[in-house]
Structure 1
Amino acid sequence: MAQNCLPGMETSAVSVLKRAVELDQSSRFQESLVCYQEGIQLLLDVLKAIKDESKKVHYREKIKGYMDRAEQIKEHLNKVKEEGKYHEQIKIADSATGFSYEALFKPYIREGLTEVWVEDPYIRHVHQLYNFLRFCEMLLKAKCNVKKINLLTSQDEESSSQQESALAEIRQSLQSQDVCLDIKYSSTIHDREIRFDNGWIIKIGRGLDYFKKSKGRFSIGYCDYDLRECHETTVDIFHTKHTKKT
């Protein structure tokens, strides 16, 4: 590995591990564990590339410290999951960025995920339908094996044909990826909740529609939702042994 790559690798490792510590201190343990694991891997790559023996000793000590903390967090998470008491809250500030679906859901979609339930009354208008499509795309790209997505939403009385047509197209497209989309409508649904069959429950105050409208079609954040500003909302994350199915 070229030595001139080292500064960039070190900078990346420091950035990811700094974020891990911040999340750890904020008791956002599941997210911090993911960052610790990514940062440790980056440091291991740095360790392989450096030649200076004193630096090697320094990095080995750093890696051991981060690995010990990651193991402590993993044990803590396993314990609270077994007890069915896991609860984490993320507060997204007004105009905050960095909260794409990938960023928000990534820590919770790895453990043998095969089925998802989305309850959101506002998958009706065009931008909301695109949000749901992006959520489905995120699941397909994730390290899991989703075979079924269940959507419970309300029907758009003013343009139900557009809503039904869009959802039918999403269903057909998912079918080509060997994923079944089951769609049900409710006139009384108010709660917004996403449930995974690996035990995770994510409740977002605004549902999937927590992004602000882009300032233009050629503005930063139009395509990449990590760069899109968000509305203020709260995300509550739970873990239970058994996910209730409807």
Structure 2
Amino acid sequence: MADTGLEAAATAALRRAVELDAGLRFQEALVCYQEGIDLLMQVMKATKDETKKNHYRQKIMEYMDRAEQIKKRNDKEKEDGKCHKQIKIEENATGFSYEKLFQEYLNETVTEVWVEDPYIRRVHQLYNFLRFCEMLVKGPCKVKTIHLLTSCGEGSEKSQQTSALEQIQQSVKNRGIKLDVYFSTSIHDREIRFNNGWMIKIGRGLDYFKKPQGQFSIGYCDFDLRPCHETTVDIFHTNHTKKI
């Protein structure tokens, strides 16, 4: 005899999936379909009555067909560049290293990267950019050129900025990557673009991590463990990527 609690849970998940589907909330609907299908399969396996088993099997096939249609639709939208994903990073949230944000979009077709960020000037901001470059070097992308557009530091900050960027240029050059640096007095937008068409806009640019409590505190080295400032990340695809 099937577990009535399990069946009720499956019914609730699938009902919610249908509601989300009707409301054109396809990504959420897909999650509920998958959850409901998994639960219904457990119910079917626990059922001894062949008539009921066939009924569950038929329902599972119907929901699987619809889930597959939604998955294909989502994949096509992503491929066609209509996909827009927004991530809200809460104050003090962790688990948002550059790898977590960008890795999904850095496939082997990425050979050129554009970074527009007015705040690559102070020491910690320059280290942020270095960490971003390290991520690109690790792959799986095959980056050959990085373009950085930022604002110019003032006073001692300027010489420090120049020296650090020159060191980064030489370091990535040793890895077969060219770093072009441009300065602007009017830049205020923050965005990162890959030549496969993906664009990422972060409200705070690369500088969304909080200062660690100390040099020997958790999160100092591993950015996944570093608390963040509140910010919003918008990720979408464009049919072409403009050059700086």
TM-score, with length taken from structure 2? 0.71
Q: Given the alignment of the two structures, is residue 219 of structure 1 paired with residue 221 of structure 2, yes or no?
A: no
In the alignment, which residue of structure 1 is the partner of 2:187? 189
> For structure 2, which runs of at least 5 residues remain unmatched after alignment?
1-24, 35-44, 46-62
Q: Distance in 2 between matches of 1:168 and 1:235?
A: 29
> For structure 1, which runs of at least 5 residues remain unmatched after alignment?
1-26, 37-53, 55-64
The amino acid that maps onto 1:181 is L
Runs ≥4 residues deviating over 2 A: 68-75, 77-81
In the alignment, which residue of structure 1 is the partner of 2:130? 133
Larger radius of gyration: 2
CA distance change for structure 1 residues 81 and 229 in 2, over 3 Å: closer, same or farther?
A: same
Return the offset for 1:76: 1.4
Q: Distance in 2 between matches of 1:123 and 1:144?
A: 23
CA distance change for structure 1 residues 184 and 96 in 2, over 3 Å: closer, same or farther?
A: same
Return the offset for 1:111: 4.8
Tell me the SS of whatever aligns to 1:76: helix
Return the offset for 1:243: 1.1
The amino acid that maps onto 1:177 is R
In the alignment, which residue of structure 2 is the partner of 1:41? none
Return the offset for 1:184: 0.3
Q: Distance in 2 between matches of 1:69 and 1:209?
A: 39
User: Which is further off, 137-146 or 69-78?
Assistant: 69-78
Within a 5 Å distance, the mapping from 1:76-225 to structure 2 comes to 76-82=74-80, 84-158=81-155, 159-225=157-223
Q: Distance in 1 between matches of 2:107 and 2:139?
A: 7
Q: Distance in 2 between matches of 1:74 and 1:225?
A: 34
Return the offset for 1:244: 1.4
**CA contact under 8 A between 1:89 and 1:236: conserved in structure 2?**
yes
The amino acid that maps onto 1:204 is I
**CA contact under 8 A between 2:114 and 2:192: conserved in structure 1?**
yes
* C-alpha RMSD over aligned residues: 2.9
CA distance change for structure 1 residues 111 and 178 in 2, over 3 Å: closer, same or farther?
A: closer
Q: Distance in 2 between matches of 1:174 and 1:150?
A: 12
**CA contact under 8 A between 1:146 and 1:179: conserved in structure 2?**
yes
CA deviation vs aligned residue, 1:188-240 (integer Å, no higher than 9, x gap) = 00000000000000000000000000011110000000000000000001101
The amino acid that maps onto 1:113 is V
Aligned residues: 191
Q: Distance in 2 between matches of 1:223 and 1:136?
A: 16
Within a 5 Å distance, the mapping from 1:39-50 to structure 2 comes to none
Q: Distance in 2 between matches of 1:181 and 1:223?
A: 24
Tell me the SS of whatever aligns to 1:157: coil
CA distance change for structure 1 residues 122 and 75 in 2, over 3 Å: closer, same or farther?
A: same
CA deviation vs aligned residue, 1:54-100 (integer Å, no higher than 9, x gap) = 9xxxxxxxxxx99x968853641333542x32211100000000000
Q: Distance in 1 between matches of 2:26 and 2:70?
A: 14
CA distance change for structure 1 residues 71 and 225 in 2, over 3 Å: closer, same or farther?
A: farther
Q: Distance in 1 between matches of 2:72 and 2:189?
A: 31
Q: Distance in 2 between matches of 1:77 and 1:119?
A: 28
Q: Distance in 2 between matches of 1:70 and 1:166?
A: 50
